[in-house]
Chain A
Amino acid sequence: MHFEYQVYEADFVNAGAASSAIKKTLKQLNINPSIIKRVVVALYEAEVNAIAHAYGGTIYADIEPDKITVKIVDTGPGIPDIDWAMQEGNSTASPEVRDMGFGAGMGLPNIKKNVDKLNVSSTVGVGTTVEMEVNFI
């Protein structure tokens, strides 16, 4: 099953919509609830990242019998130092975004903790692609 969702820059009102839709699908497929919880955490963080840091992007989700693969491709400023961004507490979020309770520097670490495979690639001035995989078994 293949799904695509668009996310838009600073569209915080709709943050979580894609995560919610995929969660619903995984529930209907009777995937183990503890695995769904991990997918949801990772997906939500990736969704918020594209909204908070990029100029928008596309979420591609593929659900196979044994795993879910999600790719989030954004156009945006890119990440100059991915290792720095992966460390808990590091964030480039604006004061406005921080006031909302985002930008604590926990997004990428939260993703890493909850997926089986993660690849972040980025080109400064072009955008960032986050690919992640969670196994069902």
Chain B
Amino acid sequence: MKVQELVDKLGLKVLSGANGLNREIDGCYISDLLSDVMGNAMEGNIWITLQTHKNVMAVASLKELACVILVKDLVPNAETIEQSNDDGLPVLQTSLPTYEIAGLVYNLLH
């Protein structure tokens, strides 16, 4: 599944990195601890988090994740948006809390 399809099916808002909406999704990882994501997320994963600072993009990019979903309408800072656009790695937003969006993503991927 492409990130674009995830956006369409779950009604996510594309905040940045729209040039990466054709990235291919392979699984999902949920954590707000950066070292946990660094150590355990896999290439192509969706990353659901409440962290909004620029290091999120550094980790997502280094791990070659498919996209980042920010929960609860959280807004990334300007540096995060800039990095997301530069890397073509989409930052998406949902109004749902982590548990609810995780359930929807799970159903979509399984």
Q: Is the interface of B mostly helix, strand, loop or mixed?
A: helix
A34, closest chain B residue (CB):
B43
Contact assessment for A100 and B55 in the assembled complex, using a CB-CB cutoff below 8 Å: yes
Distance (whole angstroms) from the CB of B63 to the closest CB of chain A: 8
A: which residues have CB within 8 A of B? Answer: 12-13, 15-17, 19-20, 23, 37, 40-41, 44-45, 48, 100-102, 104, 106-107, 109-110, 113
B: which residues have CB within 8 A of A? Answer: 32-36, 38-39, 43, 49, 51, 53-55, 58-59, 61-63, 79
Contact of B39 among A19, A100, A110 (CB under 8 A): A110
Contacts of B32 in A (CB 8 A): 101
Known contacts: A45-B38, A106-B39, A110-B39. The answer to whether A101 contacts B58 by CB under 8 A is no
A102, closest chain B residue (CB):
B34
Contact assessment for A12 and B54 in the assembled complex, using a CB-CB cutoff below 8 Å: yes
Contact assessment for B35 and A106 in the assembled complex, using a CB-CB cutoff below 8 Å: yes
A-B contact pairs, 14 of them (CB 8 A): A12-B55, A15-B58, A16-B62, A17-B58, A20-B62, A23-B62, A44-B38, A44-B58, A100-B34, A101-B55, A102-B33, A102-B55, A106-B38, A107-B35
